[in-house]
């Protein structure tokens, strides 16, 4: 999916919980990790077993940042009475720390060495996924907050 296509997740007129958005982001991050599903090598078996653990750890790492994005956007709406739905979102301050936390979850896993051998590309891709996830979270929270204020 192109990075400029928003993924808007809302249900019952409100925002999704941070764990749902974290799971979506981790699903996209996991797609970057290629495991030969037909291989019976010890490395492939270890990688297949490690993937769900990595996914849980990465989701747990991302979830608090999504909650912080929600809170920041609530404050942004409250502090800016002229804020419009299409005004730019400010999520950049969350990306660097979230990226570092996600990268830390891969250390010691079977993915560590392959990630390190393609570090710049992997970090760029994960950073883009996090940025889009945070923009989506801010977008839904802003819309929900503005709706609640009748704006």
Domain total for the chain? Answer: 1
Q: Is residue 66 part of a domain?
A: yes
Predicted TM-score (pTM) of this structure: 0.87
Task: Tell me which residue range forms the domain holding 84.
Answer: 14-148
Q: Is residue 73 part of a domain?
A: yes
pLDDT digits (tens, 9 = 90+) for 7-35: 555 555 556 789 999 999 999 999 999 88
Token pair in block for residue 102: 């996600």
Q: Is residue 112 part of a domain?
A: yes
d(CA 64, CA 51): 21
Q: Please give the pLDDT value at position 1.
A: 42
Q: Is residue 101 part of a domain?
A: yes
| Spans of the chain, pLDDT less than 70 | 1-15
Q: Please give the pLDDT value at position 9.
A: 54
């Amino acid at each position: 999916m192109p990075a400029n296509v928003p993924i808007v997740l809302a249900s019952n007129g409100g925002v999704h919980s941070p764990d749902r958005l974290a799971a979506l982001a981790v699903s996209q991050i996991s797609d970057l990790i290629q495991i030969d599903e037909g291989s019976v090598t010890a490395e492939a078996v270890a990688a297949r077993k490690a993937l769900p653990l990595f996914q849980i750890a990465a989701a747990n790492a991302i979830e608090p940042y999504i909650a912080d994005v929600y809170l920041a956007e609530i404050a942004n709406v409250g502090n800016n009475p002229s804020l419009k739905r299409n005004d730019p979102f400010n999520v950049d301050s969350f990306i660097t720390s979230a990226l570092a936390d996600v990268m830390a979850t891969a250390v010691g896993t079977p993915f560590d060495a392959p990630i390190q051998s393609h570090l710049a590309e992997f970090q760029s891709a994960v950073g883009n996924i996090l940025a889009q996830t945070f923009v989506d979270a801010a977008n839904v929270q802003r819309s929900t907050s503005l709706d609640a204020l009748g704006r």
